[in-house]
Structure 1
């Protein structure tokens, strides 16, 4: 594991566990085995027990001090109980604030492109819109969380990243591979992405201005202060571009307020309020037949989370509200094919962790209510209002129980999640999970997990119809059984991992055509599908062996190989489920240029089944330290000017140059 430090990246080991908020995951694109997967029936996982040791918080963008060789404690966000790093039962990639600042990305979606196990199928560039999936799952089969609160769109996975966050706000991103229903609820069919923001007020001011090709302009401002027992921060931003081709212009606005109330005995309450707005030309986003599409979305979020109790018993209550607004025009500037929808998601949950000599027992529960009003989704309203002629709703209740025990070099965790949704009258689903970790030596660990997962249809799956799409009837949830085996090796200079995964799914939901001449795709359960593959990674700390690279010199290599077998009778064309990455390779090289310039090269190669041919892109980020507070950056994306499309009929940008200047105090 690497500490977030500008000059040196050092492998860390954790010798004891505490409940302190020490940052276990200050590492970029490193695979970390997360252990003791205590259950989270909540779709909102608790995460505030981890804060990056105040290293990333006090100097979030550029840390110049000497690295610590070892940390003394660790708390784990995907779990609900502090666990030593070597007692681990899942595979997690963590991207820290330091590495986010180094990476030549302008959005979370572009940042995730550098993770081999993630497929980012972009429509609009630079965070306008992208479908993000994990290990061959669809973009509907993952849960997106902001500080542990579920911000996934219940309407459609296309909009799951429409939430108010800037890259400079992020302390780290944790990517949990594989089904995670016991942790994050039924939506985590193939994995979860948890985005954790900075809470500390030690950095009082951060400002950044950006400009580049295609009339790209942007500005960010973040302020933080401590007032009494509270830590408060406000982040604002605007970014826009004229677009890299016709009808790809965009404007994006973000505002995020956070308050942490520190209570006695390390108890705390976290409040977050956010607003996001996007206006963008959607050239051929959903159908090549209509290139002049346009979309306007808004998202408002509010949540309150707590961490209360003592050493033996911890109570983690959460309440949240998430409001989505979406206006879509099939032909820009006209009412043809126009959609208007407002979606409200309300949630409340409680997790109780109890630790004893017999191990750790976790009981969790969540109640989530989803409603939509609009002109496409739901059933006719008794009293229509303007565009809002239809209404639909559903309620999901879930309970989970898990117990974890440690026996010498073994750690065993088992539990189950019970879920009930009002759309499935009288039906209760149980999703068990078992994890085993064997740690024979300090440098080696071996993990095996088995779990069952389920996903409900989205609101679009259930009800959406337009000239090129038609919802199916009697859609049922999709299910899967998954297995994973992991081997990991780690020293102070080398990290390596190898993982084999297998997922067997049934009733998989997709938008399909049964005849290529059909004018519309229809949502259907398309029978059975099996994904299996290998993930491998190697990270080398090169600074000590190749001094010309500087103390920060490091090389990371990651590779995904996947195959798929499916039985989908009669299906002639599939939009999502049968379009997967066969190969993805990523390489990153970080080094210094003199004493003031940092460089990071990022190479990505991928081969998707339904693409005409594989492609590769090369990006470069140069960062120049003018003073301790002032920085200048240069980003060169797609240096080779590769012509490619992640989604058929939606070409992505060629070479794009931009620059920035930032100030922190």
Structure 2
């Protein structure tokens, strides 16, 4: 557990954010989206049951909660898995605008972006592939069936986010396919208290302007929030200037979001959430560089226009004086991308991924004070997914769909108030592959007097082949319908230690193995024989050495090899981060220093006809950012930040450029 500390000092509205100048350029106008948002604002409600308002605003002694580890709210002292929590207030302290940048501070995670803001952003947990990480937003699974079953973090803004939980290690026993590496659960804000209107706007380097606006309200009977965010930049060249590229590649993003809930009785409530993002990204293309003897990007007049629509509605019923909780939900997602040549203007390919989910969960809570002085939670869940991928291009087209039904059972027990045990099992009935059964067990033991928690977990995971790997084809690729699901297993053991009431340290050793890994071979995909192995150490530290100073740090050492003994690409062995926040002038002002370090790593490059690939080394880099703010009064705050102060010239993916030094300033209003 990586404990994150947030001070209770007065602060400007968390999540306050305002419209970009001429934000109408970004905001989508689909009637269905606008009507859905208006309906939510009117009170038709949103928020998944696990989206309780759990912002941490205290010290290390508060009973922090995880909503991801066990499907029900669980004190972190009872969680045997490795969990990291990032709060929305921390995102605003650091002035982080994209979730992918926030995830760089999480132990065990490697983040790679294929160029500047707006380009493909991949997250790998403990050496697993990016499509072996399952991602949820407000209880909605957002992995894209038409994009390799992974979630592209490039377009996820932080304005509405209240909390991010990262659960590391195989989690298929609870979450099914795609969770070999772990789970990232993102929870947005909910309306609370009197009507609050907030706005933010900022501008800065590389022709960047962004902002957002929100309105919220909440009572014991209902809660509602709606917001709009926009981001636009002229950017830099996606293809590195080091390779002679000079064309600036822009990016724009418009997001609307609404959610709310209504409590009909003490035992019954309903909720819903809707989120829509429209984006446009300039692209460069891969070519062969004779000078280097392999491929790399080059300037091109191309772009991609994308849309993401995420929605969920659910009802919750409590019976037997709250001892029996039942939740039924429906979710629908649609993500599409349109790739274009701009000179002459021509649509070259489209990809559309849809997912429909129906789910039911039953939780039974009971205590046995005279037997082991224990509390128990028994969970049963059933969920059915229909995944569909549609692809059309100048050279091919396909439309395929797969249905999966999962059955989940879990027991969670707390014995003698210091020992916590969980066991979970899942059976997936798949229309295409052999049925899969996965399981997971965890244990946590707390020594309250010394502030020590010992924890351990073991789990198995499965990753089904993607629809494109099975059936897709291009002029250089043919799918392989004989692919088998990838399988993983992993265990970890760790120690969480409170440090004299002013800090906390956590250390985790992990070991993970993946078999039947799917990889490209010639013009198709195959299951790689043998086992890929990853092990390493994760360290987290947080402290309040002074009443107005917060320090957080993390370090990860990960050693990964594929079945051939080759080092895994885009997984640095050494990753570290440091964040220091200082409050002064009676907490009206603050300064935040952020440092991210990524060690050397390898990447793939190809020969001239893409028939062979080989690895190339990427240099280590250190990014230093500085953010500051000053609250003039309860309604007005000024803020500014400097990014990449050292003007580090680095690459996260070979040949793709990254921004140098930049400065930004903005204003935040709250009413």
TM > 0.5 between the two?
yes
Counterpart Cα distance in 2 of 1:473 and 1:608: 36
CA 480–334 in structure 1, closer or farther in 2 if over 3 Å, else same: farther
Structure 1 partner of 2:456:
448
Counterpart residue number, 2:355: 345
Q: Is the 2:192–2:223 contact (alpha carbons within 8 Å) kept by the matching residues of 1?
A: yes
Match of 1:374 in 2: 391
Determine helix, strand or coil for the equivalent of 2:562: strand
Task: Name 1:321's counterpart in structure 2.
Answer: 332
CA distance in 1, matches of 2:63, 2:110: 35
Which of 51, 54, 74 is equivalent to 1:52? Answer: 54
* Matching of residue 399 in structure 1 with residue 407 in structure 2: yes
Aligned counterpart, 1:308: 317
Aligned to 1:602: 594
In 2: Cα distance, 1:285 partner to 1:175 partner: 33
Tell me if the contact between 2:105 and 2:577 (Cα under 8 Å) persists in the aligned partners.
yes
Q: 1:157 to 1:661 in 2, by over 3 A?
A: farther
Q: CA deviation at 1:343?
A: 2.0
The correspondence of residues 235-254 of structure 1 with structure 2, limited to 5 A, is 235-245=227-237, 246-254=247-255
Does the CA-based 8 Å contact 2:121-2:153 persist in structure 1?
A: no
The aligned counterpart of 2:431 is 422
Which deviations, in whole Å up to 9, do the C-alpha atoms of 1:461-496 show, x marking residues without a partner? Answer: 334444665544522210011111011101421100
Q: Find the partner of 1:476 among 466, 480, 484.
A: 484
CA distance in 2: counterparts of 1:75 and 1:614, whole angstroms? 34
Aligned counterpart, 1:23: none
Distance 1:251 1:129, change over 3 A: same
Structure 2 CA distance for partners of 1:74 and 1:647, relative to 1, 3 Å: closer
Alignment partners' CA distance in 1, 2:379 and 2:220: 33
Q: For the residues of structure 1 that align with 2:521 and 2:66, how far apart are their CA atoms?
A: 44
Distance between the aligned counterparts of 2:447 and 2:574, measured in 1? 32
Distance in 1 between the 2:397 and 2:561 partners?
42
Contact 1:131–1:157, Cα closer than 8 Å, also in 2 = no
Q: Does 1:554 align with 2:555?
A: no
Q: How far is 1:615 from its partner?
A: 1.0
Deviation at residue 211 of structure 1 after TM alignment: 0.6
Which of the residues 618, 621, 625 maps onto 1:615? 621
Displacement of 1:140 in angstroms is 0.5
**Which residue in the other structure is 2:571 paired with?**
580
Asked if 1 retains the 8 angstrom alpha-carbon contact of 2:106 and 2:554, the reply is: yes
Once superposed, which parts of structure 1, at least 4 consecutive aligned residues long, lie more than 6 Å away?
A: none
1:303-346: CA deviations, max 9, x gaps? 112332132211121210101111124x5445789211222210
Contact between 2:326 and 2:363, CA under 8 Å: does it hold in 1? yes
Rounded Cα–Cα distance in structure 2 between residues aligned with 1:78 and 1:320: 21
Residue among 480, 500, 509 paired with 2:509: 500
Counterpart Cα distance in 1 of 2:218 and 2:208: 34
- Partners of 1:134 and 1:562 in 2: CA distance: 10
What is aligned with 1:382?
none
State the Cα distance separating 1:114 from its structure 2 match: 2.3
Instruction: Give the count of matched residue pairs.
Output: 588
* Match in the other structure for 1:280: 281
Asked if structure 2 preserves the Cα contact closer than 8 Å seen for 1:603 and 1:617, the reply is yes
Give the corresponding residue for 2:442: 435
* Gap runs ≥5 in structure 1: 10-44, 57-66, 377-385, 514-519, 544-550
Structure 1 residue 603 displacement after superposition: 0.7
**How far off its partner does 1:144 sit?**
1.1
Deviations 1:365-395, CA, capped at 9 Å, x for gaps: 110001122315xxxxxxxxx9995311100
CA distance in 2, matches of 1:251, 1:484: 41
Aligned to 2:112: 121
516, 524, 527: which one pairs with 2:526? 524
| Bigger shift: residues 644-653 or 437-446 | 437-446
Whole-Å Cα distance in 2 between the matches of residues 618 and 303 of structure 1?
38
Of 144, 147, 152, which residue of structure 1 is paired with 2:143?
A: 152
State the alpha-carbon separation in 2 of the partners of residues 46 and 224 from structure 1: 17
Structure 2 vs 1, CA of residues 178 and 455 (structure 1 numbering), >3 Å: closer, same or farther? Answer: same
CA contact (8 A) 1:634 1:658 kept: yes
Match of residue 539 from structure 2: 536
For 1:318 and 1:254, locate their aligned partners in 2 and report how far apart those are by CA, in whole Å: 24
Deviation at 1:102, TM superposition (A): 0.8
Contact kept in structure 1, 2:85 and 2:164, CA below 8 Å: yes
SS in 2 for 1:168: coil
